[in-house]
Amino acid sequence: MSDNERDWGRRVSVMAVIAATGVAVIYIPQPIQTLVAAEFGVGGSATAAAAIAIQAGYALGVVLLVSLGDRYSARRQVTAQLVATAVALAGAALAPSFWLFVALCFIAGGTATIGQILVSSALRLAPPAVRARTTAVLLGSFIVGLFIVRTALGAVADAIGWRGALVACALFVLALVPLSLRFSPRDAPSDPPAYGRILASIPRVAARSSTLRIMTGIHVLVFAAFIALWSMTTVHAVEALGLSVSQAALLGLAGLAGGVATIAAASVHAIVGPRRSLATCVGAALIGVTLVTIAPGSLPVLLLGLFLVSVGMNSEQVSTQATALASVDPSENGRANTVFMGATFFAGAIATAVAAQLVAVGGYTAVGILAVALVLAAAFLAVVAARRGMLGARPPGRPAGGARD
């Protein structure tokens, strides 16, 4: 490994911490939703309102803010959004009503899109030899951050209350500002288009690349299955399994292990190629959702299933996101990532809302059936992508460049 690649590796490690924190923010309501609902006297499916709102805010932030990576430096944008996110979280901690809490969660979700900004910038600047590993490390950090929050926040909230836990989160986000000023990429695109033109061109970027659309579809479906299950895990663990909030939070260790496994396997993706990697990851997710659906009342089976869903979803994203962004011009990476991640989190918000209704009428098994259907649909799209030569192996007689339209 060259000195340049080693320096880049250290920089990516710091960016991974910042990115993981941004993604973790959108999962803050999940482990504390029963405590928040109890304080404000909210019941039924409304308890999931904050979890839905923060994902919807994140999706909107991806559309309105991530595409600005094609205009401004990541350092400038990430630093500003870290400050805004910390302020929104502090406001949510002080919220006197449930619906104001939900609104502030929506805002925090919108400004927490720093991870997606860093991914777009890093993929544009990474040395070619370490691009796959860069992607895997950053995406693996997302799920590590997510499940550190799920695992720790429930226990912290049990100890100091959900408001104190949110204040601690706000302070941690604010503490990352100096790291962003030092390590976030400062390279700004040369001759960038105006903001209005950037937004107006997003549909055209998606329309020009069928690879971008299909890769986005695969990830949207697997992520929707992942988020449907995890968004209802605390409710299932507390109400059906009889665990406390802090005990239910420990289920997040299964997801945390999935994130660690994604990072550990970072170099494997480049070795086996996107075709085999994607098949393996979607297969792991399918086994996971099947296990959860068959035996939601068995804690060991539930943990194994959630681990497989988590590692399958996050590792699948390594292949789909890198392939999607490679199918467009580098100057359009921010907009391509807006398509990819905006669709992902709009789908996540819808999946969370649907899961909240399903768990009320059919329990966790009903949510599992939904997840199985979603992953099967993703597997079908993966087969379509492979047959069209989007994953590196072209069908006989197909010209090169099939992944770029």
Q: Phi-psi region for residue 273, left (φ > 0), alpha (ψ -120 to 50) or beta?
A: left
* Position 235 pLDDT exceeds 90: no
Which value, to the nearest 10 degrees, does the dihedral of the CA atoms of residues 264, 268, 270, 276 take?
A: -130
Residues 6+ apart with CB under 8 A from 401: none
Which range has the worst mean pLDDT, 8-17, 259-268, 358-367, 380-389? Answer: 259-268
Q: What is the pLDDT of residues 204-214, one digit of tens each?
A: 999 999 999 99
* Position 32 pLDDT exceeds 70: yes
Which range has the worst mean pLDDT, 87-96, 270-279, 280-289? Answer: 270-279
Mean pLDDT, residues 129-145 taken together: 76
Q: What is the pLDDT of residue 5?
A: 63
CB atoms within 10 A of CB 287: 16
Length of the chain: 405
Mean pLDDT for all residues in the chain:
86
Q: What is the pLDDT of residue 398?
A: 39
pLDDT classification of 394: cutoffs 50, 70, 90: very low
Q: What is the pLDDT of residue 2?
A: 57
Mean pLDDT, residues 365-391 taken together: 95
Residues 6+ apart with CB under 8 A from 320: 215, 216, 218, 219, 278, 340
Q: What is the pLDDT of residue 402?
A: 41
pLDDT classification of 396: cutoffs 50, 70, 90: very low
pLDDT classification of 228: cutoffs 50, 70, 90: very high
Say if residues 18 and 118 touch (Cβ distance below 8 Å).
yes
* Position 58 pLDDT exceeds 60: yes
* Position 261 pLDDT exceeds 70: yes
Higher pLDDT, 142 or 98: 98
Say if residues 289 and 369 touch (Cβ distance below 8 Å).
no
Q: What is the pLDDT of residue 3?
A: 53
Higher pLDDT, 400 or 64: 64
Q: What is the pLDDT of residues 155-214, one digit of tens each?
A: 888 889 999 999 999 999 999 999 999 988 887 667 777 888 888 888 999 999 999 999
Higher pLDDT, 172 or 258: 172
Mean pLDDT, residues 297-321 taken together: 91
pLDDT classification of 134: cutoffs 50, 70, 90: confident
Q: What does the buried/exposed string (b/e) look like for 163-181 if buried means 16 or more CB atoms within 10 Å of the residue's CB?
A: bebbbbbbeebbebbebbe
Mean pLDDT, residues 352-377 taken together: 94
Q: What is the pLDDT of residue 110?
A: 94
Cα(148)–Cα(153) distance, rounded to whole angstroms?
8
Mean pLDDT, residues 337-345 taken together: 88
Residues 6+ apart with CB under 8 A from 171: 86
